[in-house]
A and B are shown apart, each in its own frame.
Chain A
Amino acid sequence: MAKRITIDPISRIEGHLRVDVEVENGSVSNAWSSCTMWRGIENILKGRDPREAWLFTQRFCGVCTTVHAMASVRSVEDALKLEIPLNAQYIRNLILINHGLHDHIVHFYHLSALDFVDIMKIPAADPTKTSALAESLSNWTGNSKKEFLAAQDKVKAVAASGQLGIFTNGYWGHPAMKLSPEVNLLAFSHYIQALEYQRKSVQAVAILGSKSPHIQNLTVGGVSNAINLDSLATLNMDRLVMIKKLMDEVKPFVEQVYLPDVCAIAGMYADWFNYGAGVTNYMASPDLPTDSKNTQFDLVGGYIMDGNLSSVHRFDGFRDKVFVDGVTEDVKHAWYKGEEPLHPWKGETDPEYTDWQAEGKYSWVKAPRFQGRPMQVGPLAQVLVGYASGDPLTRKWTDKALDLISTVAGRRIGVAQLQSTMGRHVARAIRAAMLAELGEKHWQLLVDNIAKGDVAIHNNPEFPSGEIEGVGVHEAPRGLLSHWSVIKGGKLTNYQAVVPSTWNSSPRDAKGQHGPYEASLLHNPIADPVRPLEAIRTIHSFDPCMACACHTFDPEGNAVATVKVL
């Protein structure tokens, strides 16, 4: 008989993500993904000035701040058909790149590596062997025996203190943990180093955006960074050089540490290329525009259906007709009123809460669909669309990663196998390597453009009296983000944000099709129902970001994810 497991992180505001799986003979036979907090934030934008919407959307989520700001201004600019000065495009692109690098580094090391790395095996590691292993993988200068001894001492000190702190609730000693003590030590040492490098990317965003985590420099029509290479108060040469220096430090970390670490761990856990494919329809938006009219892009967008990598449909811009016409949101299994799937411009957000019903409504997340199909978004979608399109940069880093993984695994892992739990981690690291390289390019584009004497940063928006509709598309770290606005007489009359985690964590739709999280959990092994590490691996591989807009602290709380086995 199937055994039902509920994994529900109980934080004080009952927020966030809940996953239910049924396990039969050590494998997941059914799954439900629910968001347990209401996201009705769009409603507060109605009636507001479209030029200020980005300030509010930037507060949707405290981790994905810049991305909601970017999608919001693009949405209004699209409605107005406003061109964006080149300097503004490049500055925005540099923010996107640095934010993405920060986000991917933190996701791998601090939010998901410990799903594969067993901290409690580290005291048994031989630092000399660890150093030799690390040197076989990369030229990174931070791989000395001394570095590894220091990291090992930290773990020993934590273990000896009896206060496990951050490690209290790890699944240590779980049968699915397979790395040698040396590899565990290697990964943990880089976990510590990663803290320093992710901060450098945050600093770069703060310089470009005048502040972080909430950037201040966007406007509908461009940016507000006055440019004068010799003035102290503006984006000047000193600041540009500081940004370059920070990016020059992060790039080698990505190329010599993050990517090789992911590839090594992937090669050692090669069985995880067999699980977690789930929904194999992929969609990504183009991004990093290189012209003022948004017709040329450095990141490729498009979609792939049914895992068929030999057939890719490209999107030629932010407002590709096929994309715009194809998106609907279904609320059959979500706690909202409504019958037929609605296009986001016609979208409604009227709550209708029932309790959690396996066959009925069970989530606050709507089910977005493209041409009626569930779609997976995120770095994997972006990499597969880029690879299938023959994009040279995507191919270069993907081939490099696959070669290293195959060497470690001792067998060939091909691009098709990236359609898996492990593939999502690998794709994120590939995307980071691409972003680090594109960062150099876009910095140079900005500096060269300024050197030509162009200091334009903004085109003034003018609102017509009639109704206009816009879509703001952005390929965020977690995937395709779209903000849909309807504006009349200079006021917002509707606003819908279709966020990456909505695509991925969506519940079933009226046709009963699972969302990507749900589908990816099917057939996952579960060795121990009380410690469902394997399910957590698959969910974490998507980098979920749910309703992080709400945040209070409970000093007496046990913010422990509960696992209920029924």
Chain B
Amino acid sequence: MKTIRICGVGSVLLGDDAVGPYTARTIAAKYEFGEGVEVEDLGTPGLDLIAYMSGIDVLILIDSVENREPAGTVTVYDKAEITRQRPAVRLDPHSPCITESIFIAELAGDGPEDVYLIGVTGEQLEVGAPLSDSVRKAIPLAIEKALQRVLLHGGSYKEREVHADAEIWWEAGQLSVGA
């Protein structure tokens, strides 16, 4: 049995950059998965992504992308396409690090065999803004692409009879918090 991890990445505070966490949370609320499949909202882990890709077989990332497509376009990239991006000599070591994380995990010999990036083309990165309509409409397609990859690698899922709350707390007006 393969271990498969679906990870939403991006900042929930910056407009369409929230699409990764939003989609991952929606998947976890709507579907239940067979053994070996996990869904996570990882935020903006930078190089800490390595800790979440070590020892698994398939990594499915969902993230906002800039690729000159119209906003809301869903594009799937495989590992070869992702790693074509050259890593940087960086001053700030915590910038986007998907490519570097893959390289380093592979060097250690425990990186995932397959990596997919389900990219949703964003429209704006406004602090505190909700998702743009174009991006929100793309979420069902992004979910479909993620679930297809789960099936492709032998994972299973079924829709929950009662959907759980996706807990998109950053878009809620007021939260109920406390002990």
Mark A residues whose CB is within 8 Å of B: 7, 9, 11-13, 15-19, 38, 40-41, 43-44, 48-49, 51-52, 55-56, 59-63, 65, 102, 106-107, 110-112, 154, 158, 165-166, 168-171, 192, 195-196, 198-199, 202, 213-214, 219-222, 224, 457-458, 460-461, 536, 539-540, 543-546, 548-561
Query: Does B33 touch A at the CB level, under 8 Å?
Result: no
A555 proximity list for chain B (CB < 8 A): 65, 67, 75, 77, 81-82, 84-85, 117, 119
Contact check, A551 vs B96: say whether CB atoms are below 8 A apart.
yes
A458 proximity list for chain B (CB < 8 A): 179
Contact check, B88 vs A9: say whether CB atoms are below 8 A apart.
yes
Contact check, B88 vs A561: say whether CB atoms are below 8 A apart.
yes
The smallest C-beta distance from A314 to any residue of chain B, in angstroms, reads: 32
Contact check, B50 vs A9: say whether CB atoms are below 8 A apart.
no
B64 proximity list for chain A (CB < 8 A): 552-553
B108 proximity list for chain A (CB < 8 A): 192, 195-196
CB contact under 8 A between A559 and B67, given known A41-B13, A41-B127, A110-B47: no
Tell me the bound Cα distance from A224 to B47 in angstroms.
29
Contact check, A51 vs B177: say whether CB atoms are below 8 A apart.
yes
Minimal Cβ-Cβ distance residue in A for B64: A552
Interface flags for B10-30 (1: CB within 8 Å of A; 0: not) read: 111110010000000000000
Add 5 more A-B contacts to A59-B12, A154-B109 (CB < 8 A). A12-B96, A16-B91, A196-B54, A552-B122, A560-B86
Which of A55, A111, A198 has the most B CB atoms < 10 Å from its CB? A111
CB contact under 8 A between A553 and B65, given known A165-B83, A166-B107: yes
Contact check, A62 vs B13: say whether CB atoms are below 8 A apart.
no
Tell me the bound Cα distance from A378 to B98 in angstroms.
27
CB contact under 8 A between A16 and B177, given known A158-B107, A169-B86: no
Minimal Cβ-Cβ distance residue in B for A169: B89
The smallest C-beta distance from A193 to any residue of chain B, in angstroms, reads: 9
Contact check, B92 vs A62: say whether CB atoms are below 8 A apart.
no
Contact check, A548 vs B86: say whether CB atoms are below 8 A apart.
no
Tell me the bound Cα distance from A540 to B47 in angstroms.
15
Query: Does B164 touch A at the CB level, under 8 Å?
Result: no
B66 proximity list for chain A (CB < 8 A): 12-13, 552, 554, 557
B residues 73-120 near A (Cβ < 8 Å) are 75, 77, 81-96, 98-100, 103-110, 117, 119
B84 proximity list for chain A (CB < 8 A): 555
Contact check, A545 vs B94: say whether CB atoms are below 8 A apart.
yes
> Chain B contact residues (Cβ within 8 angstroms of A): what range?
35 or more
Mark B residues whose CB is within 8 Å of A: 9-14, 17, 41-48, 50-51, 54, 63-67, 75, 77, 81-96, 98-100, 103-110, 117, 119, 122, 125, 127-128, 169-170, 174-175, 177-179
Contact check, B65 vs A552: say whether CB atoms are below 8 A apart.
yes
Tell me the bound Cα distance from A543 to B47 in angstroms.
13
The smallest C-beta distance from B126 to any residue of chain A, in angstroms, reads: 10
A546 proximity list for chain B (CB < 8 A): 92, 94
Which of B50, B83, B88, B91 has the most A CB atoms < 10 Å from its CB? B91
Contact check, A106 vs B47: say whether CB atoms are below 8 A apart.
yes
The smallest C-beta distance from B81 to any residue of chain A, in angstroms, reads: 6
B119 proximity list for chain A (CB < 8 A): 553, 555
Which of B83, B92, B95 has the most A CB atoms < 10 Å from its CB? B92
Contact check, A550 vs B94: say whether CB atoms are below 8 A apart.
no
Contact check, A13 vs B125: say whether CB atoms are below 8 A apart.
yes
Tell me the bound Cα distance from A428 to B47 in angstroms.
19
Contact check, A16 vs B83: say whether CB atoms are below 8 A apart.
no
The smallest C-beta distance from A144 to any residue of chain B, in angstroms, reads: 17
Contact check, B179 vs A551: say whether CB atoms are below 8 A apart.
no
B85 proximity list for chain A (CB < 8 A): 553-559
Tell me the bound Cα distance from A154 to B83 in angstroms.
18
Minimal Cβ-Cβ distance residue in B for A218: B177
Contact check, B88 vs A559: say whether CB atoms are below 8 A apart.
yes
A556 proximity list for chain B (CB < 8 A): 67, 85
The smallest C-beta distance from B38 to any residue of chain A, in angstroms, reads: 12
B75 proximity list for chain A (CB < 8 A): 555
Tell me the bound Cα distance from A165 to B106 in angstroms.
10
Which of B46, B83, B98, B104 has the most A CB atoms < 10 Å from its CB? B46
The smallest C-beta distance from A543 to any residue of chain B, in angstroms, reads: 7
A51 proximity list for chain B (CB < 8 A): 177-178
Contact check, A213 vs B65: say whether CB atoms are below 8 A apart.
no
List 5 interface pairs A-B (beta carbons < 8 Å), by A numbering.
Answer: A9-B90, A44-B127, A169-B88, A552-B64, A555-B65
Query: When A and B form their complex, which 6 residue pairs have the shortest distance between CB atoms, in order from nearest?
Result: A62-B44, A166-B103, A44-B128, A111-B93, A551-B44, A548-B94
